[in-house]
Amino acid sequence: MTINKSIFKWAGIASILMSIGFVLIGVLITLDPVERVRGEAFWQVFYEQPYLNLGWRWSFVAVSLLTLAVIPALAAYVRAKDGEWDGLWLYATTLAYVGAASGALEWLRNLKMVEPFLEAYQTGDAMAQIAAKTTAIGSIDPEGFFRYGGLGLWYILMCVMALRYHKMSRTVAYAGIACGVGYITTLVFGITDTIIMIGDTPLSVQALAAMVAGVFAAPIFHIGLGLLLLRQAGSQPQPMLRPQASVS
């Protein structure tokens, strides 16, 4: 697959920006009091302290949109010249597109639901609160199979291919695999909704997985990948311009 150098350049910049978004997600989710409670307390705490929750949701929107820029460049970079693994490569890449797009739409939808939800709790209207909560629970990807599972599979496969064909360092590739495992762990423990105690502080395992992947693995991978793609953009030959015939 041939690819224009500007695509590598933009993907490299997007990947580096993603590292910032992932750190924000990891830190804000860890500090978010909403992620420490369930049941009616979840809604009440969200009403009282919404800002950290809104912050990591906006960060997910940004990361999802930037991922759409990285997917084609990374896929082209790691693809085998002889077409080996093309079936799985194409399937994982397609899942990544669906996962990133559905993630951006899902988080934007969540944010859109905030205004009527906060208004319902401010007025104390019980029926409005029920309606707001019911609407907020609905989803285009209810369990996160695409935005977590699909992207997780993509991270893992792309990095395994990069290792196989010596396209990136082991440190960067293993960090990318850790990102994929983090996404899949987020999917699994999001479904089970498991909460553990860290000292005296309750924390959901889903949030813990996001914190570890976002603060540690994602910056290593996405900064390393960004620099790699920027170097790749610099090594791409400029297109030759065909000289125009002079008109006599």
Summarised one tens digit per residue, pLDDT across range 112-165 is 888 888 888 888 888 888 887 777 776 788 889 999 999 999 999 999 999 999
CA distance 191 to 209: 13
Residue 176 pLDDT grade (very low, low, confident, very high; cuts 50, 70, 90): very high
Summarised one tens digit per residue, pLDDT across range 198-236 is 777 777 888 888 888 899 999 999 999 999 999 999 876
For the chain, give the mean pLDDT. 88
Summarised one tens digit per residue, pLDDT across range 1-39 is 556 788 999 999 999 999 999 999 999 998 999 888 888
Q: What pTM value is reported for the model?
A: 0.87
CA distance 7 to 70: 9
| Segment 86-103 mean pLDDT | 96
Three-state secondary structure call for residue 196: strand
CA distance 46 to 118: 9
The number of C-alpha atoms within 13 Å of 125 and in the hemisphere containing its C-beta is 11
Are 5 and 225 within 8 A, CB to CB? no
Tokens of 2: 């041939």
* Dihedral in degrees, nearest 10, Cα atoms 148, 152, 155, 160: -170
Tokens of 46: 């969200």
| pLDDT score, position 247 | 46
CA distance 55 to 42: 17
* Dihedral in degrees, nearest 10, Cα atoms 60, 66, 71, 77: -130
CA distance 110 to 104: 10
Three-state secondary structure call for residue 195: strand
| pLDDT score, position 36 | 84
How is residue 245 annotated by DSSP? P
Q: In sequence order, which residues have a C-beta less than 8 Å from that of residue 118 and are 6 or more positions away?
A: 47, 50
| pLDDT score, position 223 | 98
